């Protein structure tokens, strides 16, 4: 039993990963969180759900993790006044999740230090909460005011654009599309005014960047306060790619949901699909065939390999070593092409479904992957040698964007970036679900916490993934075991799944209603935990190093904006 508390009764949830759930009153939340934190535990996710139809209450769900497993605390909040004690003083990573829980459901963290909106910009009013079950109905009543149509007259004149859009000539920076925090551009901007923290003093000025960035990157706004070239403070404003994913799940079948979850963050589609399937299978109490589990692990490791290859290439590119980009992306393209040939999709989307997998695999596939692994082992080894001996690259990598192990622990840095700052958590190691329980994964950790450390962890994990793929191939059974495709889930179920994706731990929670339909699905990306650390990593670095530091984390915007 992972947590002992007099008011907490835990029940085991799933066999795939050690997970328990328990109901508590809001008053006990703070003490239990504190106890977990003191025991070295972390916060995985925090989300809310509207259970007013079933139990006349809102629910807050807090998933914590310690060395024995996951614990999901379900906190019942009064329907009239859904408030709960702030836990961001214990887990700073909770702050943005709490703000999102308010934006989406109106659940309020009492005594929280930051109550600014987070996911909400101008597309819905404050006081209106998209994930409440009566949201659509309320919206119908006041549609004209609440949601201005996208089509029709442009709300901006060209002159206004000229006033606002000023080009930044530094190629690494993007075009500022918002004025200096005054929000004076038009109706929508006024509604969208956001109080950034101002840094004052002689010689301090701001660089607003985004939401549209200068490269091929997702949108978000970064506000730098700088003195000369030195960054004093960075503040992120995300939520630009919020496209209503969680609401969308509510009207979907289990199978449609499996497709949608694979598009929460396209670069982690395998991790999301597996976590979703794991959650569904835990509600339905089914175990997929062994062959399906081996294949899932194979796909997950291939996803890790292709993302690490891509990042290592871009890390070279960002320090002007275009050679690195060219070489690593040739390797990545070969992996993608093999994916298309063997599995029918370059990024392996929609290949994991609740109950099993949708891929064929034969001796020929095995041969192709073995050859690919041998080729990658050889080539990446050569490239690693070149990276390590390239003084220009090392000079930019080393001591840039440092997150010390102490800070990482305090703020809850997780996943790949966490492991580069000595946070030894890897779900494949500590909570090895099948087939990882037979694979004995070697965790890659490093203490320096700089860009160089994050590159080294990527190299180490890449080689480990190649080893794992070979191991999986040796264990894989070729005969088609008949999978039990999950059609529908049992009523009033609650399940969670957690998978160590390439970026970090991806968690998906599924709640079903009295008919067994999806009533709430919460996908949680590790980027939630890691975005705030980027703000710290960039302090005291120079502005031109920001793209490099950002790339070394490579966090998902879509995965956290939902």
Q: Which residues 249-278 are close enough to bind other proteins by CB under 8 A?
A: 256, 259-260, 263-267, 269
Tell which one of 57, 204, 217, 483 touches other proteins (CB under 8 A): 217
Q: Which helix (H) or strand (E) holds 430?
A: helix 427-430
What minimum distance in Å lies between the beta carbon of 327 and other proteins?
Answer: 7
Find where tokens 């399906």 sit: 292
Q: Which 298-317 positions form the footprint of other proteins (CB under 8 A)?
A: 310
Query: Residue 285, interface with other proteins (CB under 8 A)?
Result: no
Number of helices (H), then strands (E), belonging to the chain: the values are 21, 15
Residue 394 in contact with residue 519, Cβ under 8 Å?
A: no
Category of 19 on φ-ψ map: left (φ > 0), alpha (ψ -120 to 50) or beta = beta
| Measured CA angle at 375 (ends 371, 376), to 5 deg | 120
Residue 58 in contact with residue 133, Cβ under 8 Å?
A: no
- Residue among 283 and 306 whose Cβ is closer to other proteins: 306
- DSSP label at residue 221: E
Structure tokens at 551: 């790339």
- Residue among 358 and 366 whose Cβ is closer to other proteins: 358
Distance (Å, rounded) from C-alpha 361 to C-alpha 346?
Answer: 16
Distance (Å, rounded) from C-alpha 318 to C-alpha 549?
Answer: 9
Q: In 3-state terms, what secondary structure has residue 544?
A: helix
Structure tokens at 511: 């709640």
Distance (Å, rounded) from C-alpha 198 to C-alpha 205?
Answer: 10
Query: Residue 333, interface with other proteins (CB under 8 A)?
Result: yes
CA 413 vs. chain centroid, Å, equals 12
Q: Near other proteins by CB under 8 A, which window of 1-9, 49-57, 235-243, 480-488? A: 235-243
What minimum distance in Å lies between the beta carbon of 325 and other proteins?
Answer: 8
Residue 98 in contact with residue 84, Cβ under 8 Å?
A: no
What minimum distance in Å lies between the beta carbon of 182 and other proteins?
Answer: 15
Tell which one of 327, 365, 519, 550 touches other proteins (CB under 8 A): 327
What minimum distance in Å lies between the beta carbon of 258 and other proteins?
Answer: 11
Binding mask 541-560 for other proteins (x = CB under 8 A): ---------------xxx--
Structure tokens at 81: 């006044």
Distance (Å, rounded) from C-alpha 549 to C-alpha 562?
Answer: 24
Query: Residue 177, interface with other proteins (CB under 8 A)?
Result: yes
Tell which one of 50, 189, 303, 318 touches other proteins (CB under 8 A): 189
Q: Near other proteins by CB under 8 A, which window of 66-74, 378-386, 483-491, 525-533? A: 378-386
Tell which one of 2, 106, 112, 130 touches other proteins (CB under 8 A): 130
- Residue among 241 and 408 whose Cβ is closer to other proteins: 241
What minimum distance in Å lies between the beta carbon of 214 and other proteins?
Answer: 4
Q: Which 147-176 positions form the footprint of other proteins (CB under 8 A)?
A: 147, 150-151, 154-156, 158, 161, 164-165, 167-168, 171, 173-175
Residue 523 in contact with residue 562, Cβ under 8 Å?
A: yes
DSSP characters for 331-364? HHHHHHHHHHHHHS-TT-TT-EETTEE-----HH
Query: Residue 42, interface with other proteins (CB under 8 A)?
Result: no
Query: Residue 124, interface with other proteins (CB under 8 A)?
Result: yes
Q: Which 21-40 positions form the footprint of other proteins (CB under 8 A)?
A: none
Tell which one of 386, 407, 476, 483 touches other proteins (CB under 8 A): 386
Distance (Å, rounded) from C-alpha 140 to C-alpha 154?
Answer: 23
Query: Residue 284, interface with other proteins (CB under 8 A)?
Result: no
CA 341 vs. chain centroid, Å, equals 28
Structure tokens at 214: 């200068």
Tell which one of 323, 407, 432, 443 touches other proteins (CB under 8 A): 323
Find where tokens 């990882």 sit: 436
Tell which one of 39, 134, 198, 215 touches other proteins (CB under 8 A): 215
Query: Residue 116, interface with other proteins (CB under 8 A)?
Result: no
HSE of 178, CA atoms in CB hemisphere, 13 A? 27
Tell which one of 326, 368, 398, 424 touches other proteins (CB under 8 A): 326
Which of 428, 453, 451 is closest to 438 using CA atoms?
428
Query: Residue 240, interface with other proteins (CB under 8 A)?
Result: yes
Query: Residue 389, interface with other proteins (CB under 8 A)?
Result: yes
Which residues are within 8 A (CB) of 329 and not within 5 positions of it... i.e. 6 or more apart?
309, 310, 313
- Residue among 83 and 349 whose Cβ is closer to other proteins: 349
Q: Near other proteins by CB under 8 A, which window of 236-244, 297-305, 441-449, 457-465? A: 236-244
Q: Near other proteins by CB under 8 A, which window of 122-130, 398-406, 479-487, 504-512? A: 122-130
Q: Near other proteins by CB under 8 A, which window of 74-82, 326-334, 358-366, 441-449? A: 326-334
Tell which one of 216, 363, 474, 482 touches other proteins (CB under 8 A): 216
Residue 225 CB neighbour total at 10 angstroms: 19
Binding mask 71-110 for other proteins (x = CB under 8 A): ----------------------------------------
Residue 134 in contact with residue 140, Cβ under 8 Å?
A: no
Tell which one of 116, 248, 358, 366 touches other proteins (CB under 8 A): 248
CA 89 vs. chain centroid, Å, equals 22
What minimum distance in Å lies between the beta carbon of 332 and other proteins?
Answer: 7
| Secondary structure (H, E, C), 73-124 | EEEEEECCCCEEECCCCCCCCHHHHHHHHHHHHCCEEECCCCCCCCCCCCCC
């Amino acid at each position: 039993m992972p947590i002992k508390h007099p008011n907490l009764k835990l029940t085991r949830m799933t066999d795939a990963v050690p997970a328990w759930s328990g109901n508590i009153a809001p008053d006990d939340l703070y003490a239990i969180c504190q106890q977990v934190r003191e025991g070295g535990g972390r916060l995985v996710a925090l989300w809310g759900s509207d259970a007013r139809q079933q139990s006349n209450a809102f629910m807050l769900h807090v998933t914590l993790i310690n060395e024995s497993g996951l614990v999901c605390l379900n906190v019942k909040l009064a329907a009239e006044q859904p408030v709960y004690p702030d836990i961001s003083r214990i887990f700073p990573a909770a702050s943005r999740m709490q703000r999102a829980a308010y934006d989406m459901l109106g659940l309020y963290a009492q005594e929280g230090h930051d109550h600014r909106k987070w996911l909400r910009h101008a597309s819905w009013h404050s006081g209106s909460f998209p994930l409440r079950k009566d949201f659509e109905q309320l919206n119908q009543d006041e549609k004209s005011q609440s949601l201005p149509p996208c089509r029709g007259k442009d709300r901006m004149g060209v002159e206004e654009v000229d006033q606002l859009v000023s080009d930044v000539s530094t190629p690494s920076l993007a075009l500022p599309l918002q004025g200096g925090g005054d929000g004076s551009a038009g109706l929508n901007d006024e509604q969208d005014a956001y109080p950034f923290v101002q840094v004052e003093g002689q010689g301090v000025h701001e660089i607003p960047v985004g939401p549209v960035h200068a490269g091929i990157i997702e949108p978000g706004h970064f506000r730098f306060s700088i003195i000369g070239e030195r960054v004093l403070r960075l503040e992120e404003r995300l939520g630009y790619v919020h496209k209503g994913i969680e609401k969308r799940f509510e009207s979907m079948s289990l199978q449609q949901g499996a497709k949608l979850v694979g598009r929460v963050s396209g670069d982690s589609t395998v991790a999301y699909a597996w976590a979703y399937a794991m959650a569904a299978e835990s509600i339905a109490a089914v175990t997929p065939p062994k062959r399906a589990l081996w294949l899932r692990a194979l796909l997950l490791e291939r996803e890790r390999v292709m993302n690490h290859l891509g990042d290592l290439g871009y890390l070279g590119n960002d320090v002007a070593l275009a050679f690195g980009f060219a070489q690593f992306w040739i390797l990545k393209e070969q992996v993608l092409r093999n994916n298309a040939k063997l599995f029918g999709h370059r990024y392996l989307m929609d290949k994991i479904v609740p109950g099993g997998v949708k891929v064929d695999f034969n001796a020929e596939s095995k041969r192709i992957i073995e050859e690919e692994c041998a080729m990658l082992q050889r080539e990446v080894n050569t490239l690693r040698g070149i990276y390590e001996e390239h003084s220009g690259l090392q000079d930019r990598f080393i001591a840039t964007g440092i997150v010390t192990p102490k800070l990482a622990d305090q703020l809850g840095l997780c996943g790949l970036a966490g492991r580069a700052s000595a946070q030894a958590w890897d779900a494949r190691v500590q909570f090895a679900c099948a087939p990882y329980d037979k694979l004995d994964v070697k965790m890659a950790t490093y203490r320096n916490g700089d860009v160089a450390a994050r590159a080294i962890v990527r190299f180490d994990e890449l080689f480990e993934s190649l080893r794992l793929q070979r191991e999986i191939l040796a264990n894989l059974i070729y005969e088609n075991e008949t999978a039990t495709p999950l059609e529908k889930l049992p009523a009033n179920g609650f399940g969670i799944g957690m998978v160590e994706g390439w970026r970090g731990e991806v968690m998906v929670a599924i709640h079903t209603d009295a008919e067994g339909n999806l009533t709430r699905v919460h996908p949680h990306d590790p980027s939630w935990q890691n975005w705030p650390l980027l703000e710290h990593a960039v302090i005291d670095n120079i502005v031109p190093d920001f793209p490099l530091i950002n790339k070394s984390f490579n966090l998902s915007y879509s995965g956290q904006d939902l």
